[in-house]
Amino acid sequence: MRMVKAGIIGTGFVGPMHVEAARRLGFVEMVALAEVNADTARAKAEQLSIPAAYGDYRELLSNPEIEVVHICTPNTGHYPMAKEAIAAGKSVIVEKPLAMSSRESRELMSLARNANCVAAVDFNYRFYPLNQHARAMVQRGEVGKVYAVHGSYLQDWLYLETDYNWRVEPDLGGESRAVADVGSHWCDLIQFIIGQKITAVYADLAIIHEKRMKPKRPVETYAGKELTPEDYEPRPITTEDYGTVLLKFDRGARGVFTVCQVAAGRKNRLYYEIDGSKCAVAYDQEDPERLWVGHRERANEILMRDPSLMAPEAREYMHTPGGHPEGYPDGLKNFVRNVYAYYAEGKRPAADPPDFPTFEDGHNEIVMVEAVVESHRKHSWVEVKY
């Protein structure tokens, strides 16, 4: 595989994880980063051992040796940066959400298609081996007709009134928070596994902390806080901490999921169960080495992640033998591996269907989230119009 040179914009919580995942591939060189100002860029570049540092992302985009750009900024930066990256002739990997609105994401989808560039969105939970295996079970007919899906995405990182992050601010994170931030992952994963699209939603959203205490100085996502009461100022909150959404799918399945970012003790629990006519399957992201398989007429099963026991389609996403755990960093590595291998081999969307989430997938999730927000306001079912 030829060496690919890349750059990254934004190195807060998830940016360094992108850097690590790309470096683990062995054929990607991270040559530059861009941050909010030159001082921050230099500090981050030294921390991550990246040669070039820019205080303006446009300088990174003008670097001719950079072929692929990762965009890992707060949400409001995704659309303009991706648009300019495509115009600069780069391929792009964008953290979700792709944009702040479906109008923006539709434009990005069109620009990427016209440029025939590699344009990916990070829905990395698809790339856990057992989720690949669950998808293979559905495709082979082992689950049977999918009757229903249900599950949740629960976190406690915004449990306290003093927990604060840019994601709670609609100008930076968007009109929806819990559904757009983590519910979008759940919905993308379920549609990927069962091969059905969400066609209608009925949503109930709630703000638990109507006021939060914002630190007077920046605090990175998930970072520990050593602040006193004098270090905070009160801010009103307009984005949801909680949501439950009923779902209809295009091939008859029904579903429901709950998102909650004030669930004490739940650190990052993406859970789903798929109920089919032949069996059920269930998965918990906080326990990523096990897939539960439920039966009516014989004993239930627990499938451990083990290449020797799993579908061939899932084996390429495993890099260690059974009993040697793989988790979040490995799912992210599998995602960027698919993107970079596709790019390095000279494949492009006009001729070769991508094996990773594209700007179309990112757009579809934004359309779904907008339907959820509309449904909550109307207290009714809303059709998802892709």
Q: What single string gives the DSSP state of each residue in 112-161?
A: HHHHT--EEE--GGGGSHHHHHHHHHHHTTSS-SEEEEEEEEE--TT-ST
CB distance 124 to 362 below 8 Å: no
* Three-state DSSP string of 42-69: HHHHHHHCCCEEECCHHHHHCCCCCCEE
Q: Label residues 172-200 b or e (16+ Cβ within 10 Å = b).
A: ebbbbbbbbbbbbbbbbbbbbbbebebbe
Calculate mean pLDDT across residues 209-221.
Answer: 80
Q: At what angle do helices 328-344 and 15-24 cross, to 10 degrees?
A: 60
Nearest-angstrom CA–CA distance, 98 and 80? 10
Residue 249 DSSP label: E
Nearest-angstrom CA–CA distance, 352 and 346? 10
pLDDT band at 1 (very low <50, low <70, confident <90, very high): confident
Calculate mean pLDDT across residues 81-101.
Answer: 97
pTM, 2 dp: 0.94
What is the model's pLDDT at position 216?
A: 76
Q: Taking Cα atoms as reference points, which of 245, 131, 101, 233 lies closest to residue 183?
A: 245
User: Does the structure show a pLDDT above 70 at 219?
Assistant: no
3.40.50.720, 3.40.50.300, 1.25.40.10, 3.40.190.90: which CATH number matches 4-125+336-358?
3.40.50.720
β-partners of residue 52 are 32
Q: How many CA atoms lie within 13 A of 274 on its CB side?
A: 28
Q: How many CB atoms lie within 10 A of CB 142?
A: 15
- Encode pLDDT of 129-155 as tens digits: 999 999 999 999 999 999 999 999 999
What is the model's pLDDT at position 222?
A: 56
CB neighbours of 37 closer than 8 A, spacing ≥ 6?
Answer: 55
Fold of 129-321: Dihydrodipicolinate Reductase; domain 2 (3.30.360)
pLDDT band at 225 (very low <50, low <70, confident <90, very high): low
Calculate mean pLDDT across residues 181-198.
Answer: 98
CB distance 290 to 305 below 8 Å: yes
What is the model's pLDDT at position 220?
A: 60
What is the model's pLDDT at position 221?
A: 60
pLDDT band at 232 (very low <50, low <70, confident <90, very high): confident
Residue 13 DSSP label: S
3-state secondary structure of 29: strand
Calculate mean pLDDT across residues 109-130.
Answer: 97
Of 114-123, 227-236, 257-266, the least confident: 227-236
Residue type, 10: G
Sketch the domain layout of the chain as residue ranges: 4-125+336-358, 129-321
Helical (H) or strand (E) element with 204 = strand 198-206
Q: What are phi and psi of 120, to 5 degrees?
A: -125, 155
